[in-house]
Chains A and B, each alone.
Chain A
Amino acid sequence: MLAIQYKAAQSLDEAVTLLATTAGARALAGGHTLLLEPTRSQLGAATLVDLGKIQGLNDIGFTRTGALRIGAMTTIAALADNADIQRDLPALAEAASQVGDPQVRNWATLGGSLADNDPESDLTAVLLALDAQLHLQGPNGTRAVAADQFITGPRQTALTQGELITDVRIPIVGGGSAYEKFKHPATLYALCGVAAHVSLIDGKVGACRVAVTGATEYATRLTGVEAALAGQEPTAEAIAAASEAASGLAFRGDPFGSPEYRAHLTRVLVQRAVTRAVERAR
């Protein structure tokens, strides 16, 4: 039998305090990862601290410095539907619209997805490519962590005990972005997903960030690809050549896709994502 306690926090401070002071406390957002755990008997005797009643955690808006600020409790459906995101951060809208199914997207939240950091999550790769900053609040105050530093390993993040993601900030720096996904046939998660952001200077690739998810142990920047593209004219040949640099990684395998197949898909999706990002950057 599971003995689960439930508490609805009214403010971030209360949530942080509850999480810090209650043994076995877990934050509850959309519940789409958390509530699957009881069947795996991992939840045990937990206290769930519901973040759903806290005001302001699901706002989307621009900061004074022009970054897009997205509250942690924003649902994935809201990400997909938001006009600012569709216009300025199409990779994020594309990825969000391909998460699971409508029921999942209507409940699952950005914060929950990032805290979960599933190896096949779509959003992690996108936030890496878009150079997002995660804002956290914990017992020791607030801090900002770059997506690169936030993801530390498979299902591992920089979050410390009792710490919450409050919002995510993504700089709007021009250029173009795109997300390409090969859905896992059994789960619809990413068997392989590639996010790319490219800006062009005089027709050549200036800043460029490319990240992969699903194919590797956890979402990772493809720095070799980025380096190969930098300064190049983004012709089909140059992009194809750069995709070859998506190698030397530890690729995952399962009955639906061997490590070799995932490596192959990574190269294919790098080409497609970069090509579309370049088109949008023009």
Chain B
Amino acid sequence: MRAIGSSLPRGDAVGKVVGATPYSGDLSMPGMLHAVTLFARRPHARILALDLGEAGRVPGVVCILTAADVPHNRFGLNVPDQPVLCGPGDDEHASRVRFVGDKVAVVVAETVEAAERARALIRVEYEALPVVPNPVAARQTGAPVLHAAHPDNVLLHYRVRKGDTLAGFAQADVVVEGEYSVGGQEHAFLQPEAGLAWLDEEGRVAVACAGQWAHEEQEQIAHALRLPDERVRVIHPAIGGAFGGREDISVQIVLALAAQKTGRPVKMVWTREESIIGHHKRHPMTYRCRTGATRDGRLVAAEVELVSDCGAYASTSTKVLGNATIMAVGPYDIPHVSIDAYTVYTNNVPSGAFRGFGAPQSHFAAESQMNKLAAALGMDPVELRLKNALRDGSLQVTQAPMPAGVSMDHVIEQCAESIGWRRTAQGWQRPAAAQPDSPWLRRGIGFAAAFKNIGFSFGYREHCWATVEIHGGGDIDRVVVRCAGSDVGQGAHLAFQQIAAEALGIEAEKVEIVSADTATTPGSSGSASASRMTFMAGNAIRGAAEKALAMWRDEEDRPVIATYEFNPPATTPMDDMGRSTPNFTYGYVAEAVEAEIDTETGEVRVRRVVCADDVGRAVNPQQVTGQIEGAVVQAQGWATIENFVQRDGLVLTPHLSTYLIPTVRDIPDRVDSIIVEVPDPLGPFGARGMAEMPFIPFAPALTAALHDATGVWFDHLPLTPVRVLETLDEQA
């Protein structure tokens, strides 16, 4: 049996299901201290004074960390613009809190209770500052400036000019205009942030925590503590979900600082509420779009202005904006395109990485435009898409050709056929949904497609490191793969195992994965994000395995050890016209949704989803299906019931009782996962990244279904029952 392509069971499954697997919050050490965080819980204020007197006298308190204790009080994944701890001092930047989850102090004590008691006794004198509640307010003249380097509060503006939109729109027979808005989203991973830090046997500050990129966390901790990287060690034990929500630092830096300061192990576990106000969200975005086509359905021009709410700190906003920009017109070949994209600082919880990374927002706008265009042209939406889908060599909006292996048309056809679209002499034809008896219930079927980059973009030097050790005599007994890539719950390590086994021609059980510890996997693998882990680590492991196998055959020494660093083709940043080679490869997906709407109560029920996802090569089909189903449900949440409400910078939904995520009673009645396998020329054994793709087209496919059911367009997410009713009334 081949290792690749079989649904091997997960080695970590039983431990996780029976509760035996230790997550970072389950770790303990002798002599361990406990830490709690004092959050600002106000969106914008200057800290005038901090009085720790009474708090420090609480029995059991060992130390209270404040801004003054942080050697280099700035951090951030792309832009170091966030204070580790906010407080009064020489650094005006750190003297202000800019969102409710800014941290003011960390209390370290013998027990959690003592730490909490002391936290309640810390006196902070705040001077309230005017709040910037949204990007519109942030861009008004006279708005408070949140970061001195950006006096207009605009962190970044991308400008894309391809062709000549004036000339393009002049050729258009039909032009549709639309305005769209989408909300934020909470990752709601099972395991809230937690970590344990200590000084290890080599005197390093070690931090065990849930993250997505051990080496980046190591670097950010070292930067803040002013230590050389090798004096910091980051270990990822079992990780309870991530979805991008662990890309940013949460507990790591303060825990390292506390361990360094006290010389003892220190543990911190955030509550669910702290997790919800403390880590970044998906970017809320607004769009203004114009799309033009000729009567026969050829797209000729598109114009998009999009604005993303960056929140209080940059996080990954610049990168998300880049993605949102290049996907703002969807997976189509359009000769004339103009895009202006902005990401704007506000006093909201920072926005950052979340499955899809800007693609879901942009595809909601772009695919809604396509659905409206199809209606305006009297053309089937699948027909229109196939006429314009990106193909090998099509020019992207950045004017670079698409990388080889584009399968957009193929994926669209597979999805459409599976839910009942028919090819007729007049072209593709949408199936009619069977209507229920109750007149207030209407059903419809909708369609959308998407593409998304795999790997880091815009000139980032992508790389991934792996080492393969082969043990045995004549035959291979055992293989150790060292690769830092994190298994955040998606099953990456099983994929690593299967790829190594395939490359070496052995059974997967013989492969052991050593991972996510900067001390034992010294080379970086990059983040478990951007649908890149299987693709990047797979290539690195395959490279190392093939090298090791050659040594195994040629040399006498045992074991053999080979290291390999995979470097995909280079990408480039956008220039002032948006010209660039943004990515080295993409994934392609199409989704059809059958939905039912109660036109009297506003309830929306998803009956069936068909998702066709080109994964290049399914390393483990069961895991691919798991990712498709999970992504569909997460997207359904974002599109319907997940309503992250912030008002004047305050989070009104800080619990899972007010911020709802789908449960078993909300999810679709049926999800059909269609695994398409058009090999990626660069992928390991042809595999593409896939974990974000099935999220992306869901929302526009759903609103297309609702339009099919009611004749009404739903352009604003989330579709809470009240919003659905209001939209029905407005367009009645």
Question: Bound pair: A and B?
Answer: yes
Q: How far is the CB of A4 from chain B (nearest CB, A)?
A: 23
Contact of B600 with A by CB under 8 A: yes
Contact of B722 with A by CB under 8 A: yes
Docked complex Cα distance between A65 and B660 (Å): 48
Q: Is the CB of B660 within 8 A of A185?
A: yes
Contact of A268 with B by CB under 8 A: yes
Query: Which residues of B from 633 to 667 have beta carbons under 8 Å from A?
Result: 641, 645, 652-653, 657-658, 660, 665
Contact of A257 with B by CB under 8 A: yes
Docked complex Cα distance between A268 and B660 (Å): 24
Q: Is the CB of B653 within 8 A of A255?
A: yes
Contact of B60 with A by CB under 8 A: no
Q: Is the CB of A182 within 8 A of B658?
A: no
Q: Is the CB of B641 within 8 A of A185?
A: yes
With A185-B641, A185-B660 already in contact, the answer to whether A257 and B601 are too (CB < 8 A) is: no
Contact of A23 with B by CB under 8 A: no
Q: Is the CB of B652 within 8 A of A268?
A: no
Tally of chain B residues near chain A (CB < 8 A): 15
The listed residue with most B CB atoms (<10 A of its CB), out of A182, A185, A186, is: A185
Digit string of A241-278 for contact with B (CB within 8 Å is 1, else 0)?
A: 00000000000000111100100110010000000000
A-side contacts of B720, CB under 8 Å: 256
Q: Is the CB of A258 within 8 A of B722?
A: yes
Query: Which residues of A from 149 to 198 have beta carbons under 8 Å from B?
Result: 182, 185-188
Contact of B725 with A by CB under 8 A: yes
With A182-B601, A268-B600 already in contact, the answer to whether A257 and B658 are too (CB < 8 A) is: no
Report B's interface with A, CB cutoff 8 A.
Answer: 600-601, 603, 641, 645, 652-653, 657-658, 660, 665, 720-722, 725
Q: Is the CB of B652 within 8 A of A255?
A: yes
Top 8 closest A-B pairs, CB basis? A268-B600, A186-B657, A261-B722, A185-B660, A255-B658, A182-B601, A186-B660, A268-B601
Q: How far is the CB of A197 from chain B (nearest CB, A)?
A: 21
Of the candidates A187, A256, A265, which one forms a contact with B601 in the assembled complex, judged by CB atoms under 8 Å apart? Answer: A265
Q: List 19 A-B contacts (CB under 8 A).
A: A182-B601, A185-B641, A185-B660, A186-B657, A186-B658, A186-B660, A187-B657, A188-B665, A255-B652, A255-B653, A255-B658, A256-B720, A257-B721, A257-B722, A258-B722, A261-B721, A261-B722, A261-B725, A264-B725
B-side contacts of A186, CB under 8 Å: 657-658, 660
Size bin of chain A's contact surface = 10 to 19
B-side contacts of A182, CB under 8 Å: 601, 603
Nearest residue (CB) in B for A265 is B601
Docked complex Cα distance between A257 and B721 (Å): 9
Nearest residue (CB) in B for A101 is B665
Docked complex Cα distance between A258 and B726 (Å): 13
Docked complex Cα distance between A261 and B653 (Å): 19
Nearest residue (CB) in B for A258 is B722
Docked complex Cα distance between A185 and B603 (Å): 11
A-side contacts of B645, CB under 8 Å: 255
Nearest residue (CB) in A for B657 is A186
Q: How far is the CB of B710 from chain A (nearest CB, A)?
A: 16
A-side contacts of B600, CB under 8 Å: 268
Q: A255-B645, A255-B652, A261-B722 are in contact. List 17 more A-B contacts (CB 8 A).
A: A182-B601, A182-B603, A185-B641, A185-B660, A186-B658, A187-B657, A188-B665, A255-B653, A255-B658, A257-B721, A257-B722, A258-B722, A261-B721, A261-B725, A264-B725, A265-B601, A268-B601
